[in-house]
Amino acid sequence: MLNDTHNRPLRDLRISVTDRCNLRCNYCMPLPKYEWIERREILSYEEITRMARLFIGLGVNEIRLTGGEPLLRKDLERLVAQLSGLGGLKELCLTTNGLLLAQNAALLRAAGLTRINVSLDTLKPDKFLRITRWGELSKVLDGLSAARHQGFSQIKINSVVERGVNDDEILDLIEFSRQNGFAIRFIEYMDVGNANQWQSDKMVPKKEILDIIRARYPLGEPARADGSTPSVDFRFADGGGDVGFIASVTEPFCSGCTRARLTADGKLVRCLFSSEGHDLKAPLRSGASDEAITEIIAGVWRFRSDRYSDERLEAMNSAQGYRPAQHKKIEMIRLGG
C-alpha Rg value of the chain to the nearest Å: 19
> Is the CB of 95 or the CB of 114 nearer to ligand SAM?
95
Going across the sheet that includes 259-262, the strands are 223-224, 232-235, 242-246, 183-188, 154-161, 115-119, 91-96, 62-66, 12-16, 259-262, 267-269, 278-279
For residue 221, count other CB atoms closer than 10 A to its CB.
6
Residue 98 phi/psi, 5° resolution? 85, -10
Amino acid at 8: R
Altogether, the residues listed in the chain come to a count of: 337
Q: Considering only 63-71, 136-144, 168-176, 318-326, which stretch makes contact with ligand SAM by CB under 6 A?
A: 63-71
Q: Could you give the string, one character per residue 98-127, with x where binding to ligand SAM holds by CB under 6 A and - elsewhere?
A: ---------------------x--------
DSSP state of 205: P
Residues between 171 and 200 that touch ligand SAM (CB under 6 A):
187, 189-190, 192, 196
Least gap, CB of 145 to ligand SAM (angstroms): 17
Partner whose footprint covers residue 100, from ligand SAM, ligand SF4, none (CB < 5 to 8 Å by kind):
none
- Residue 229 binding: pick among ligand SF4, ligand SAM, none (C-beta 5-8 Å cut-off by kind): none
Q: Is 18 in the site for ligand SAM (CB under 6 A)?
A: no
Which residues are near ligand SF4 by CB under 6 A?
21, 23-25, 28-29, 67-69, 97, 119, 332-333
Output the furthest CA–CA distance in the chain (Å, rounded). Answer: 59
- Of 286 and 326, the one with the shorter C-beta distance to ligand SAM is 326
Exactly one of 113, 135, 332, 334 binds ligand SAM (CB under 6 A); that residue is 332
User: Any long-range contacts for 138-142 (C-beta under 8 Å, 24+ apart)?
Assistant: 139/98, 139/99, 139/100, 139/102, 140/97, 140/98, 140/99, 140/101, 142/101, 142/102
97 binds ligand SAM (CB under 6 A): yes
- The amino acid present at 170, given as its one-letter code, is I
67 is a site residue for ligand SAM (CB under 6 A): yes
Q: Which positions touch ligand SAM (CB under 6 A)?
A: 21, 27-28, 66-67, 69, 95-97, 119, 158, 160, 187, 189-190, 192, 196, 332, 337
